[in-house]
Amino acid sequence: MNRGIWHTLRTRKELIPLAGILSMAAAGAFSFCVYSLFYKSDVIIHKIGSSEPWEAVDPSKPQKLVTVNQKWQPIEELEEVKKLSK
């Protein structure tokens, strides 16, 4: 009764595209998770170190995949508050 996945795919050839699409989706989801862990600054695995990691984000480097006509300029009031709080 327990024949396995390969035997089922050999006997029912109509399931091969479904298995291919599902495995591509799983591989894509896994690769995006790994990409986010290593290259996104807002993803944190452990909280040791800086209590506010968003302070270390470079504002001149875009964090989104696509940025259309967006330029970053510092807010003067916010910069003054940061200087006073340190």
For the chain, what percent of residues have pLDDT higher than 70? Answer: 78
Cα atoms in the 13 Å half-sphere on the side-chain side of 53: 10
pTM of the model: 0.50
φ, ψ at 28 (rounded to 5°): -65, -40
Count each helix (H run) and each strand (E run) in the chain, helices first: 3, 0
Quick one: pLDDT at residue 6? Answer: 86
Is residue 47 a contact partner of residue 54, using CB atoms and an 8 Å limit?
A: no
Span 40-61, pLDDT tens digits = 777 777 666 666 667 777 777 7
Which residues in the chain land under pLDDT 70? 1-2, 46-53, 62, 65-67, 70
